[in-house]
């Protein structure tokens, strides 16, 4: 029972369904909004990086909202790069850059959209992670809930329980794959994949010989789907 | 999933609760109490039992300060770092304790005989600085006094003897009375108007008979004769607004929940005040448990809830004990249970211990925590808890003080309630007056009383020879009130017009001995440790603010620091995910607005006029 609405983003009329998120509408219409913590594969958006802020005028009120979780319910006018948005976003990038000085992705975005006059911040030396939480969401939805966001406040970080090699981990690599700043290290050769201090045997399709992830992952998926464990790729199944 | 063949060492703690994720926090707290930490194996076993990931449980354990992954053994020594204890020299007490025990904060001595920690706050503001050793409270401490007490514990003396022979020592937390004995300032008592605190002088606050002798449960009787619609209308007409700080109209909240078709509906009493220097809900829960129960029963009737929860801060042992005893007494008397006062309405109330952190009182974090998940704020522009609240069901969440005022409204009528206070803020507000105020304690005033009356007439001003400087209302994320605003009547809108918030009821008085910059730093450091850490502006903005403030307080302030603080603060206010983050910069921004000179002196001259910061010593040494 969807209802169509037309809103304006940066002067461009955009049609959308009532309740659709602003970010998605903008993207569909070719309007770029920067973000770090949003990923199409993860249905629930944590809205933690705040980079996708935009300015919205609606019902006589103008304010900053986070476009990835802002549902459009009525006609509104959206601007993605007003002075206020640019200024706020530049500060957020400076903050992320200070938190994760090792991240090239953040450094590049900061070069493009940041404000060089913001300086003198304390840095978290050696840090690459921006604590966006995407890896944990990926682990929960696509993996085996092996890691979580631990601590709180300024100490927040990603870790497996008790900082030990996480037993439930299946080496599926979804955490590292969705990470927007490549902060999760792993190594692999043709036999073994190493991540989170655990080693996983790489599995190959018994029929065509194609690599099909780790053996632990194949077993996990089979259990999840209530199927027998078969080392076959999707094509050969 | 049920425990498999593997026999769990921790079985009895797990099986005290049904195997549902919502019981994660209660079990973790029980494990902490029993073992002094949450062991890794217990976490694994609990995950198996509840059928949830161990990673989720570990996240909760590391998030909440009341839980620990490292064993805390021996005597647990807790130094209070609440606002008042901070002003009165908690740092010296901490250093004395560290020296006496030979360990740092957060450590356990090698022989395992002492663990040293700090907590904000112990709820003994009027008596601080305070230190807790196991269950005993030592108040009005000097560093020497603290050392002496700890040495006696080290010598293995019987704690009871130590408590008995130490002035200001109590076997359990000293409680506050409604009327304190400040002979010189009778106004502390006479200017009060008691709607909520009426029961605070009760001989036995748990007794149903005593509560009923003073009109208790008459309001519920009246509500039982009314339709849900009429109950909600009465609350709307009373004009009562939420006392937790935001001031949202309670009637509107109840109406929104009433209008929701989904069942079941829940009612939650928020009793997890986590602000340092705010001690309002604690005394109400301890002293007036039946008023809260009655208020909840009326709310439950209004929305058709059969189950209610009291979310009580972990450190409030006495409040939990009394609330539970009062709930049991109400069940016994047929006031709660399968048929509320014989009406056929069913209502059960349960107490849930909260993690006690500041963020735990935020609506979405609170409901997430009650569902057994991480108490993180959740981004949502359209979902309201009256629609999708606890366990995704329609829920009313009211502050303990708000609920405790409801019975009065139904007993005396909405019009009588409206007659108290101002047009926009009806009824009364409970405050906890502390800091440098001459008279300290809990008090209840009608809205419309001015801040000046509160501080000077009731609080007796500051001590002789000192001069009033500022007032810190509410918690760490509320604004600073300078002298020139003291004639503002206390009310949500009246204060908002002056750019300050009502806050949750803390009122910390500062005098010329207190440094505004250092106070802002104290609050920012508190928030660094208490924020959920989810979004960039709050987590990283606080980190940078803390670093800049440390620098300024150490006499290393640089040109541009104040402008950078303002810029950071504006972005945090604009872009943070929840109300806590959006107001986290308030202690800095509001203080800089009203006390700009003092801030500039710190940065420009490396001078602290209150002599609190170490600026001067360092700048003399040539530090830039």
User: Cβ of B554: how many Cβ atoms within 10 Å?
Assistant: 17
Among the partner-chain residues A50, A140, A148, the one whose CB lies closest to the CB of B58 is: A148
Buried b (16+ CB within 10 A) or exposed e, B460-470: bbbeeeeebbb
Query: Contact at 8 Å (CB) between A218 and A231?
Result: yes
Q: Provide CB contacts within 8 A for A40, sequence distance 6+.
A: none
Nearest-angstrom CA–CA distance, B22 and B307 = 15
Select from A62, A102, A60 the least CA-distant residue to A85.
A62
Q: How many angstroms from the chain centroid is the CA of residue B367?
A: 17
Handedness of CA B157, B163, B165, B168 (dihedral sign): positive
Consecutive H or E run containing B398: strand B395-399
Return the bridge partners of B77, or none.
B116, B133
Nearest to B56 among A53, A91, A148 (CB): A148
pLDDT value at residue B1: 43
Single residue among A132, A160, A185 that ends a domain in this structure: A132
> Are the CB atoms for B389 and B266 separated by under 8 Å?
yes
Please tell me whether residues A65 and A138 are part of one structural domain: no
In a domain, A229, yes or no: no
Answer yes or no: is A9 within a domain.
yes
Q: Which domain CATH number covers A38?
A: 3.10.20.740
- One domain, residues A148 and A85: no
* Model pLDDT, residue B621: 42
Segment A56-85 mean pLDDT: 95
The nearest alpha carbon in chain B to A129 belongs to: B536
Q: Tell whether A100 and A184 lie within a shared domain.
A: no
Q: Which residue of B has its CA nearest to A155?
A: B533
> Phi first, then psi: what are they for B293, rounded to 5°?
-60, -45
**Joined tokens for residue A43:** 């249905």
Residue with tokens 């709660």: B336
The Cα A165–Cα B318 span in angstroms is 41
Residue A42 covered by a domain: yes
Q: Collapse the DSSP code of A201 into the 3-class scheme (helix H, G, I; strand E, B; otherwise coil) and give the result.
A: strand
Chain A partners within 8 Å of B580 (Cβ): none
Task: Identify whether residues A123 and A150 lie together within a single domain.
Answer: no
pLDDT of A215? 97
Pairing of strands B395-399, B266-271: parallel
The DSSP result for B106-128, as a single string, is T-B-TTSSEEEEEES--S-GGG-
Measured between alpha carbons, how far is A8 from A14 in angstroms, rounded to an integer? Answer: 6
A237 falls within a domain: no
> What is the distance, to the nearest Å, from the Cα of residue B535 to the centroid of all Cα atoms in its chain?
23
Q: Does A162 map to a domain?
A: yes
DSSP-based three-state secondary structure for B462:
strand
Is A29 within the bounds of a domain? yes
Distance from C-alpha of B367 to C-alpha of B371, rounded to nearest angstrom: 6
pLDDT given at position B622: 39
Q: How far is A175 from A186, CA to CA, in rounded Å? A: 10
Domain that holds residue A201: 134-224
Q: What is the interface pTM, i.e. ipTM, of the complex?
A: 0.96
Residues A114 and A181 in one domain: no
Q: Using CB atoms, which residue from B359, B534, B568 is nearest to A46?
A: B534
The answer to whether B411 and B424 have CB atoms below 8 angstroms apart is no
pLDDT tens digits along A148-190:
999 999 999 999 999 999 999 999 999 999 999 999 999 999 9
Domain boundary among A114, A132, A150: A132
Tell whether A112 and A151 lie within a shared domain: no
Q: Are B414 and B234 in contact (CB under 8 A)?
A: yes
pLDDT of residue B499: 86
Q: Is A91 on the interface with B (CB under 8 A)?
A: yes
Q: Judging by DSSP bridges, how do beta strands B348-354 and B307-313 pair with one another?
A: parallel
Rounded Cα distance, B405 and B171, in Å:
31
Which portions of chain B are predicted below pLDDT 70? 1-7, 177-185, 616-624
The pLDDT score that the predictor gives to residue B355 is 85
Reduced to 3 states, what is the DSSP secondary structure of residue A137? Answer: helix
Nearest to B536 among A73, A96, A150 (CB): A96
State the burial class of residue B421 (Cβ atoms within 10 Å of its Cβ: 0-12, 13-18, 19+): buried
Tell whether B559 lies on the interface with A, counting CB pairs under 8 A.
Answer: no
Unique residue bearing structure tokens 């250093």: B95
Q: Residue B300's closest CA among B308, B288, B292?
A: B308
In this structure, the answer to whether residues A117 and A142 fall within a common structural domain is no
Q: Are A135 and A178 in contact (CB under 8 A)?
A: yes
Same domain for A128 and A141, yes or no, is no
Out of A132, A157, A189, pick the residue that ends a domain. A132
Does residue A82 share a domain with residue A37?
yes
What pLDDT score does B623 carry?
Answer: 38
Give chain B's length: 624
- The DSSP code sequence of B238-255 is HT-B-TTTT--BHHHHHH
Q: Rounded to whole angstroms, how far apart are CA atoms A65 and B176?
A: 44
- Residues of chain A in contact with residue B543, where contact means CB-CB under 8 angstroms, are 95, 98-99, 122, 154
Is A47 in contact with B541 (Cβ distance < 8 A)? no
Q: How far apart are CA A47 and CA A65, in angstroms?
A: 11
Residues A139 and A79 in one domain: no
Domain check: are A21 and A43 in the same one? yes
B43, B533, B568: residue with CB nearest A156: B533
Q: In this structure, is residue A233 part of a structural domain?
A: no
Q: Do A162 and B546 touch (CB under 8 A)?
A: no
Query: Tokens 């402008």 label which residue?
Result: B563
Residue A105 within any structural domain of the chain: yes
Q: What tens digit of pLDDT does each residue of B310-368 get?
A: 999 988 888 999 999 999 999 999 999 999 999 999 999 999 999 888 888 889 999 99
Would the CB atoms of A148 and B560 count as touching at under 8 Å? no
What is the rounded distance in angstroms from the CA atom of residue A161 to the CA atom of residue A136?
Answer: 12
Token pair of B291 as six digits: 């008023």
515-554 of B, contacting A, C-beta below 8 A = 527-537, 539-544, 546-547
CB atoms within 10 A of CB B621: 8
Q: Report the residue of chain A nearest B576, measured CA to CA.
A: A50
- Six-digit token string for A124: 């978290």
Question: Which chain A residues touch B55 with a CB distance below 8 Å?
Answer: 136, 139, 145-148, 160-161, 166, 168
Same domain as A38, residue A127: yes
Q: Is A142:A136 a contact under the CB 8 Å cutoff?
A: no
Q: Helix, strand or coil for residue B129? A: coil
Q: In total, how many domains does chain A have? A: 2
Q: What is the pLDDT of residue B616?
A: 63
Q: How far apart are alpha carbons A175 and A236 in whole angstroms?
A: 27
Angle at B162 between CA B157 and CA B164, to 5 degrees: 140
């Amino acid at each position: 029972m969807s209802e169509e609405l037309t809103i304006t983003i940066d002067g461009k009329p955009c049609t959308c369904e009532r309740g659709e998120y602003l970010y998605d509408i903008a993207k569909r219409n070719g309007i770029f909004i920067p973000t770090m913590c949003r990923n199409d594969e993860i249905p629930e958006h944590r809205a933690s990086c705040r980079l996708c802020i935009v300015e919205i005028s609606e019902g006589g009120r103008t304010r900053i909202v986070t476009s990835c979780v802002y549902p459009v319910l009525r006609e509104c006018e959206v601007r993605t790069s007003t002075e206020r948005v640019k200024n706020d976003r530049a500060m957020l990038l400076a903050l992320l850059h200070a938190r994760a000085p090792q991240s090239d992705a953040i450094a590049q975005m900061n070069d493009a959209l940041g404000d060089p006059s913001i300086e003198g911040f304390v840095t978290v030396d050696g840090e690459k992670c921006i604590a966006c939480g995407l890896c944990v969401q990926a682990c929960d939805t696509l993996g085996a809930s092996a890691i979580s966001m631990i601590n709180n406040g300024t100490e927040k970080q990603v870790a497996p329980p008790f900082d030990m090699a996480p037993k439930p981990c299946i080496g599926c690599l979804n955490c590292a794959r969705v990470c927007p700043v490549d902060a999760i290290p792993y190594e692999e050769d043709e036999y073994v994949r190493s991540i989170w201090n655990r080693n996983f045997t790489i599995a190959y399709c018994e029929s065509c010989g194609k690599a099909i992830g780790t053996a632990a992952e194949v077993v996990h998926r089979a259990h999840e789907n209530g199927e027998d464990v078969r080392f076959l790729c999707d094509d050969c199944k | 999933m049920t425990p498999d063949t593997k026999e769990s060492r921790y079985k009895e703690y797990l099986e005290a609760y049904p195997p549902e994720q919502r019981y994660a926090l209660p079990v973790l707290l029980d494990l902490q109490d029993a073992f002094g930490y949450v062991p890794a194996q217990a976490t694994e076993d609990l995950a198996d039992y509840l059928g949830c990931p161990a990673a989720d449980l570990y996240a909760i354990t590391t998030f909440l300060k009341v839980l620990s992954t490292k064993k805390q053994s021996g005597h647990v020594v807790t130094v209070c770092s609440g606002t008042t204890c901070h002003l009165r020299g908690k740092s010296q007490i901490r250093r004395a304790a560290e020296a006496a025990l030979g360990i740092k904060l957060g450590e356990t001595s090698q022989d395992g005989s002492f663990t040293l920690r700090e907590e904000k706050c112990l709820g003994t503001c009027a008596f601080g600085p305070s230190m807790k050793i196991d269950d005993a409270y030592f108040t009005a401490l000097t560093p020497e006094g603290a050392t002496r007490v700890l040495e006696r514990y080290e010598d293995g003396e019987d704690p009871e003897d130590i408590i008995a022979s130490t002035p200001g020592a109590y076997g359990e937390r000293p409680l506050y009375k409604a009327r304190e004995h400040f002979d010189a300032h009778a106004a502390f008592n006479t200017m009060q108007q008691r709607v909520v605190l009426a029961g605070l002088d009760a001989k036995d606050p748990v007794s149903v008979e005593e509560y009923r002798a003073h009109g208790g449960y008459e309001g519920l009787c009246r509500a039982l004769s009314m339709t849900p619609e009429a109950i909600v209308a009465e609350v709307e007409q009373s004009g009562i607004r939420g006392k937790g700080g935001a001031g949202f109209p309670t009637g509107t909240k109840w109406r929104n929940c009433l209008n929701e078709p989904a069942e079941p509906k829940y009612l939650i009493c928020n009793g997890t005040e986590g602000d340092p220097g705010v001690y309002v809900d604690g005394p109400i829960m301890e002293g007036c448990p039946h008023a809260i129960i009655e208020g909840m029963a009326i709310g439950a009737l209004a929305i058709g809830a059969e189950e209610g929860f009291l979310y009580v801060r972990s450190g409030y042992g006495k409040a939990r004990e009394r609330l539970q005893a009062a709930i049991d007494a109400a069940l016994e008397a047929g006031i709660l249970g399968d048929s509320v006062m014989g009406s056929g309405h069913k209502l059960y109330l349960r107490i849930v211990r909260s993690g006690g952190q500041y963020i735990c009182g935020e609506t979405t974090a609170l409901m997430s925590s009650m569902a057994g998940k991480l108490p993180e704020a959740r981004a949502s522009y359209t979902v309201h808890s009256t629609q999708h609240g606890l366990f995704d069901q329609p829920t009313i969440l009211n502050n303990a003080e708000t609920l405790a005022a409801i019975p009065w409204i139904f007993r005396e009528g909405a019009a009588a309630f409206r007659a108290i206070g101002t047009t926009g803020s009806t009824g009364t507000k409970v405050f906890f007056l502390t800091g440098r105020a001459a008279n300290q304690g809990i008090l209840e005033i009608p809205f419309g009383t001015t801040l000046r009356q509160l501080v000077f007439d009731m609080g007796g001003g500051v001590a002789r020879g000192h001069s009033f400087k500022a007032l810190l209302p509410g918690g760490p994320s509320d604004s600073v009130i300078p002298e020139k605003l003291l004639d503002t009547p206390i009310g949500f809108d009246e204060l908002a017009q002056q750019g300050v918030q009502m806050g949750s009821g803390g009122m910390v008085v500062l005098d010329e001995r207190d440094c505004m910059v250092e106070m802002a730093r104290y609050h920012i450091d508190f928030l660094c440790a208490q924020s959920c850490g989810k979004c960039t502006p709050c987590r990283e903005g606080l980190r940078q603010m803390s670093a800049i403030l440390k620098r300024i307080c150490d006499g290393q302030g640089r040109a541009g620091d104040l402008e950078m603080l303002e810029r950071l603060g504006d972005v945090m206010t604009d872009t943070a995910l929840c109300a806590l983050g959006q107001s986290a910069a308030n202690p800095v921004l509001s203080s800089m607005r009203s006390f700009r000179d003092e801030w500039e002196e710190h940065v420009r001259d490396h001078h602290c006029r209150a002599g609190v910061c170490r600026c001067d010593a360092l700048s003399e040494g040539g530090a830039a």
